[in-house]
Structure 1
Amino acid sequence: MELWYTEKQTDNFGITAKITQTFVTEKTEFQDLAMIDTAEFGRMLVLDGMVMTTIRDEFVYHEMVAHPALFTHPNPEMVLVVGGGDGGVIREVLKHPKVKKAVLVEIDGKVIEYSKKYLPEIAGELDNPRVEVIVNDGYMHIHDHKATYDVIMVDSTEPVGPAVELFTKGFYQGIYDALREDGIFVAQTDNPWFKADLIQTVNRDVKEIFPIVRVYTANIPTYPSGLWTFTMGSKKYDPLQVDESAIPEIESKYYTPRLHKAAFVLPKFVEDLVK
């Protein structure tokens, strides 16, 4: 008998993967959590029926959340990651020697606990002395830390359950206030095939708050449609003005200095969404 996991990404479409082992299925205080092993993508974290990360393709998402913003800001000493309890974005943030402190605020401590146990390749830097891990509500942390951070990264699930507030205009305003005078923020903003309305709404809201707003994309095969967007809001620095020849090479599998600007070149139908 074969066991398969299916994520129903719309009412009429989903993706499926053959399961080789189930490690954890638990209803936490905030969401349904599963940690499984798959034949195609290796170990996989699933929250509320949605794939969050897999061993095989996790590097794309985590690198593309972290590096475009950190190579746009000239001195990102204080960095906040909201969500991201698997630790992948933190791992990438720590590749930047200018970062003196990285704060992770994850609402669900079980995500951190099980990621450390079953995804050590991803979560391995959560105990780094440059990292402070806080199990709390990221929305409230933003509200309570005015003018504190150089870069804020929102590594959230899709806008369901505890992540709903992380896609609101009030949250983006709170991020603006929590950033220093030349700060940058970046958030994952879903896919343009199934969530075009969400991308448009986020883009409109962020543009009403930040003077510089850019959208970029990456290919992540286990995420709905495979084409994923990220939205960057900046108070001062434009990622398109970065001298790519001055970007140092870092250990990576997806991000490169040449890709830095190329990622912001959007397919026409995505460009039309954010005009």
Structure 2
Amino acid sequence: MATIDLNLLSALDVLLAERSVTAAAKRLGLSPSATSRTLARLRSATGDPLLVQAGRSLVPTPYAERLAGRVHALAQEAQAVLTPVARQIDPQSLKRMFTIRANEGFVALFAPALVTGIIEAAPGVRLRFAPKPDKEATLLRDGTVDLEIGTAGASAPEVLSQLVFRDSFIGAVRLHHPMLAEPMTPRLYAACCHVVASRRGVWKGPVDYALGELGLQREVVAIVPSFLDALNIARRSDLIALVPRSCIGSNNVEAQGLQGFDLPMPTPELAISAMWHPRLDADPGHRWLRQKFVSICRGAT
């Protein structure tokens, strides 16, 4: 391939279409003498005269006639491959399946608005929500997942991300929980029994470290895989669930039989991001999905 000049392909396509060195030179933006030299190079490369004189015009050889259709298709394809990707697309004409990896709490809260908003804008788009049992970036790297939602990790430094929204932890208890009758303090919070959500079964987190600085320790009596599981247990017991504010912040929590409350000690914010592999960064369809996705999520929080 080092000896192949793709400019020759485009030149041959124009020469076969025009059957005139002068006319081809105008289309190619070259002088007639330069175009004649290009024709000579093409004859040398193919081993065929390609175009021969017939009176005042040029006519293709049988080989050139057989080649014309293939040359035109190849020239068009090469031009398409080597043309910069269009930055704007028409969502109405976009037909594509996107796989989004997120935990079930995010899906429960945001999927209805995402499906409605994205499909209204792009009727040919299909969304597939995949579970997120871990933070491994393998599925982003191999193309199985198009977009991942969560807190950015350090396992895949090449993965790109965009902040979707900021979140924070709150407590959630059943309605009429005895704890609600008193002002919330770190000591009162620590004295209750707790249910936490952890995919990896981890007992301690930022809340425990904040309590530890005050010389306090809470009693975690149950660990469940998801925040929705934690809320379900809190609804039916006296346990306190620790969940992101987004899990219940925009819903009618009283209708769910729950009451949310601010934690009585500061804890770090959660940065919820959309993550994707660099191979998709310039893809116009994926770019549109990211922009629409972030816009809908921010509007729902």
Q: What is the TM-score when the length of structure 2 is the normalising length?
A: 0.28
Which of the two has greater strand per residue?
Answer: 1
* Larger RCO (CA under 8 A, 6+ residues apart): 2
Which of the two has greater helix per residue?
Answer: 2
